[in-house]
């Protein structure tokens, strides 16, 4: 038991990345396969190692230890070259899989200790968790195993060596973290990369955190896999079928159609029912693009009356 005066004098944790990661925290980075978790993790590593902002958020500079279970030194070097990153000297340290199918974390404890003690490193990134042997048997789908064995093992490393750990992991087919829900409950924060279904270069980063408010950051991925912040207005996701309708209405100025008629006329890849729902939910998007649609019910169908006017950008 402690009095409030003692609690108020406890030193506060530093932010590793403002609004995203605190010191001595345990975080996971998740996405579907091939979205770019490893590239994102390297970009995050570079921001921390160099002390530069990460996606517009200030960082506390620190050396980074990067443990890769899927790539060797050569592959990691190629990825860094592809990203065009130049790490400052003695700020980025790498442990690769060394030709093995998994990485044994217990065997690396001396390396982790030396990184924390002699390099003053504060951040450890594990890419990916599924191929890490932590010295215990566990079922990834079992809540108690994940919540009381696996994640506490990682947190003990955070506490013992004053480290923040970020590990990468997969999402399942339902869009939630693969395995037990303990991943969501036990970690200090979860960073989720969500790829647009219409444009794979458009990514939404959702950050849920026990220390900060939830945030969403809209990103656009360049050809060399760099994630850049972009505005929502700049990259509103417009369905392919809507684009075809916008092009058609803009070419004729005024028209009337039913869902079935416009699908057949423009060879849209959608059912009449789906198109009806899409049009109803996209009135604002169409309006921004200059298409004003009035929906009129008839005896047998819904009639869509469309008018086009050249949109004006208020910022111009």
CATH number of 4-229: 3.40.50.300
Domain with CATH 1.10.10 in the chain: 240-308
Q: Is the dihedral of CA 179, 130, 79, 111 positive or negative?
A: positive
Residue 285 pLDDT class (50, 70, 90 cuts): confident
Residue 100 scores a pLDDT above 80:
yes
Query: What's residue 313's pLDDT?
Result: 56
End-to-end CA distance of the chain: 62
Cβ contact 164:180 at 8 Å = no
Query: What's residue 314's pLDDT?
Result: 44
pLDDT for 22-71, tens place per residue?
A: 999 999 999 999 999 999 999 999 999 999 999 999 999 999 999 999 89
Across the range 148-173, mean pLDDT stands at 95
Mean pLDDT in the chain?
A: 90
* Cα-only R_g, the chain: 25
Q: Report residue 204: phi and psi, to 5°.
A: -110, 125
pTM of the entire predicted model: 0.73
Residue 76 scores a pLDDT above 90:
yes
- Cα 108 to Cα 124: distance, rounded to the nearest angstrom: 12
Query: What's residue 151's pLDDT?
Result: 96
Structure letter (DSSP) for residue 70: S
The 3-state DSSP class for residue 192 equals strand
Pairing of strands 189-195, 26-31: parallel
- Integer CA distances (angstroms), 287 to 73, 165, 302, 310, 315, in order: 51, 45, 19, 10, 16
Say which residue the tokens 């003690």 belong to: 117
Domain with CATH 3.40.50.300 in the chain: 4-229
Q: Which residues of 124-142 are buried (b: 16+ CB within 10 A; e: fewer)?
A: bbbbbbebbebeeebebee
- Cα 279 to Cα 220: distance, rounded to the nearest angstrom: 26
Range of 28-32, 211-215, 231-235 with top mean pLDDT:
28-32
Q: Is CATH 1.20.81 the right assignment for the domain spanning 240-308?
A: no
Residue 315 pLDDT class (50, 70, 90 cuts): very low
Query: What's residue 295's pLDDT?
Result: 87
- For 139, the token pair is 């079922």
Say which residue the tokens 């809209």 belong to: 218
Residue 89 scores a pLDDT above 80:
yes
Task: List alpha helices for 187-268, DSSP H.
Answer: 240-252, 259-266
């Amino acid at each position: 038991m402690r009095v409030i005066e003692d609690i108020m004098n406890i030193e506060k944790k530093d932010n590793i990345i403002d609004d995203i990661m605190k010191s001595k925290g345990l975080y996971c980075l998740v996405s579907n396969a091939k979205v770019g978790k490893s590239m994102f993790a390297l970009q995050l590593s570079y921001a921390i190692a160099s002390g530069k902002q990460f996606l517009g958020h200030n960082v506390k500079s620190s050396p980074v230890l990067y443990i890769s279970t899927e790539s060797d030194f050569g592959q990691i070097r190629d990825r860094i070259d592809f990203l065009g990153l130049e790490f400052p000297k003695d700020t980025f340290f790498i442990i690769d899989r060394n030709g093995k199918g998994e990485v044994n974390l217990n065997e690396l404890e001396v390396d982790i200790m030396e990184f924390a003690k002699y390099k003053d490193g504060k951040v450890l990134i594990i890419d990916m968790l599924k191929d890490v042997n932590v010295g215990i048997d566990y079922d990834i789908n079992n809540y108690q195993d994940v919540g009381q064995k696996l994640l506490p093992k990682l947190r003990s490393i955070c506490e013992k060596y004053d480290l923040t750990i970020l590990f990468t992991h997969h999402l399942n087919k339902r869009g939630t973290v693969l395995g037990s829900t303990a991943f969501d409950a036990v970690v200090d924060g979860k960073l989720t990369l969500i790829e647009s279904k219409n444009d794979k270069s458009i990514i939404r980063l959702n950050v849920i955190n026990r220390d900060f408010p939830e945030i969403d950051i809209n990103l656009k991925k360049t050809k060399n896999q760099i994630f850049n912040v972009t505005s929502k207005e700049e990259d509103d996701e417009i369905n392919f079928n809507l684009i075809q309708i916008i092009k058609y209405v803009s070419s004729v100025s005024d028209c009337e159609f039913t869902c079935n008629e416009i699908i057949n006329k423009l060879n849209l890849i959608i059912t009449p029912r789906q198109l009806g729902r899409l049009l109803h939910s996209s009135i604002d998007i169409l309006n921004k693009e200059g298409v004003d649609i009035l929906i009129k019910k008839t005896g047998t169908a819904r009639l869509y009356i469309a008018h086009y006017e050249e949109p004006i950008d208020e910022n111009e």
